[in-house]
Structure 1
């Protein structure tokens, strides 16, 4: 029998600098009211000039390790989901490995854009089955502020910077990751992207002058894709895991757009679940949005042992990733032994940005 693998620690980090709708609206040629009505976002965080994706990822990773009581040198695998890496190469994960001292971890990146965290979670889960006593750090981290055209109202109003992390490790039978479903519709890959900077269109003075290094998105088509695909993906995962929709207690979706989520949510049939939407002050943080939200929910002690938690990401590619988990006893699980309220400095610092 394979050793069950589950989330035994969570962490997150958001930059200190908060950018209001008023500031974003002025640059994008819209109003605060228009942004709030279209997205339900009121502010977002922006990385400091000295902060790169690896810095945010490392802070979130440290918080997850401290929460779980595991040291960095015990980690076997370190996977960073990001579409805004520090550099085209090397992998951002290798830099994070160095920053946190995870000297025994094989480190690599996954880029499935905003679905990346769930894709990375699935990969790490599979690797740990081959090393049942090991641990894996799975981190979602993005710094979208560096690739946005701030005059483009379709994108500039949505995105913020941040990182979230989970530590995977062995859990009891019946707990942990129960199933994952990953799909990609490459025929629609042009809906989201950064046109230049790769082997298809290398960087040049012309690509910079033409703004081809900015993030682009066909918002209307993306919304149609999510509306047409998400419910069937959720249904398929629940069917594969023999779980009834009404038995799911928590739904943690990619925090893409609050208005879109409010339209999609009723179609999923998860009538017994709480849909956790925490984007009001953080915006869409790309691959980081699911683990940031999960960390917030976990640290507020909203997850009980054996609760069924459904994670669902969707994004460029076009891709959808869904994972169903049975929550194990953790430091902040409601029915688990509660640790002393005296918080470690790293965890407190990383979590402070979520209040």
Structure 2
């Protein structure tokens, strides 16, 4: 059976209006603008309103992606939502989004791969397109990390933020296509970043709430070293699969976790800084939404032109990693 080429037909993104600056955080925890900036590269981040959930952010990003792809919600075959901050444990946020969009009865499910979620979602969705099972799939990454951040922990609350990005994928009849994708994971690093309580291992109780176990916990130093190694490996693997070299890359959109991680990866792979998309300073770490938002920004900002080789690479909790090469 011959496989169809798969392309990104349209992108969209949404970030909340509320801005939380480093100066704001100085009044909340024992930190400073200098401390945050020098360690992360972040100056400000966007925070969802109290009544905004992942499906709300996803809705706005999805509507924009559908408009740009010239696709109606009812024409979708499937919705995939990548998130670690779902509206609730179940039903899936994708089902809630399906109802909001009016995309009646299309297949819908959530996918959890932490910060790698959007690329996992694109890879999974593209298989349905390639085999001919479906024609039009919406992939959304939406996060409200402010809901699971401990605002008393300066090691995490200064990093994470909220946002959503989306892409509509379908069959390609021209040169535009997903050239290659590479996914990986190592459960041995599951303790590096996690929310300990709230699942079947440690159900919610008075004690788990009192001990602040429903908030994100992170081992930053270990995570840094693992992230750099994994992202470099994923980049080389995806380029090799596409018979490409780093010099063939026209634009690079990395996960926006930490500026030091991005710099280390770019230097090791041998990419030019002027080809690297950065929104970390204004947006913080939006987990799965990070690369999705970055891709839409690059498209809208005309940073990517037809025929360009675009490299997307992520690393996240699990630990997971992913890299995709697209010919635009």
- Structure 2 length normalisation: TM-score? 0.97
C-alpha displacement of 1:228: 2.2
Q: Distance in 2 between matches of 1:258 and 1:270?
A: 15
C-alpha displacement of 1:310: 0.7
1:156 matched to 2:157 = yes
C-alpha displacement of 1:257: 1.1
Gaps of 5+ in 2: none
* RMSD of aligned Cα (Å): 1.3
C-alpha displacement of 1:129: 2.0
1:306 matched to 2:302 = no
C-alpha displacement of 1:271: 4.3
Q: Distance in 1 between matches of 2:53 and 2:165?
A: 14
Taking the TM superposition and a 5 Å limit, the aligned residue runs for 1:96-245 are: 96-131=97-132, 134-245=135-246
- Whether the aligned pair in 2 keeps the contact of 1:13 and 1:56 (CA below 8 Å) is yes
Q: How many equivalent pairs are there?
A: 327
Q: Distance in 2 between matches of 1:302 and 1:230?
A: 22
Q: Which residue of 1 aligns with 2:55?
A: 54
- Whether the aligned pair in 1 keeps the contact of 2:231 and 2:314 (CA below 8 Å) is no
Gaps of 5+ in 1: 328-355
- Whether the aligned pair in 1 keeps the contact of 2:4 and 2:132 (CA below 8 Å) is no
C-alpha displacement of 1:132: 6.2
C-alpha displacement of 1:127: 1.2
Q: Distance in 2 between matches of 1:180 and 1:28?
A: 40
Q: Distance in 1 between matches of 2:263 and 2:66?
A: 33
Q: Distance in 1 between matches of 2:245 and 2:22?
A: 40
Q: Distance in 1 between matches of 2:229 and 2:134?
A: 40
Q: Distance in 2 between matches of 1:278 and 1:48?
A: 21
- Whether the aligned pair in 2 keeps the contact of 1:37 and 1:259 (CA below 8 Å) is no
Q: Distance in 1 between matches of 2:102 and 2:84?
A: 23
Q: Secondary structure at the match of 1:27?
A: coil
C-alpha displacement of 1:284: 0.5
- Deviates most, 162-171 or 98-107: 98-107
Q: Which residue of 1 aligns with 2:253?
A: 252
- Whether the aligned pair in 2 keeps the contact of 1:14 and 1:45 (CA below 8 Å) is yes
- Deviates most, 4-13 or 174-183: 174-183
- Whether the aligned pair in 2 keeps the contact of 1:75 and 1:104 (CA below 8 Å) is no
C-alpha displacement of 1:16: 0.7
1:23 matched to 2:24 = yes
- Whether the aligned pair in 1 keeps the contact of 2:77 and 2:134 (CA below 8 Å) is no
Q: Distance in 1 between matches of 2:266 and 2:245?
A: 17
CA deviation vs aligned residue, 1:113-156 (integer Å, no higher than 9, x gap): 00111111100000122336611111111001011111211110
- Whether the aligned pair in 2 keeps the contact of 1:247 and 1:272 (CA below 8 Å) is no
C-alpha displacement of 1:104: 4.2
Aligned structure 1 segments of 4 or more residues deviating by more than 4 angstroms: none
Q: Secondary structure at the match of 2:279?
A: coil
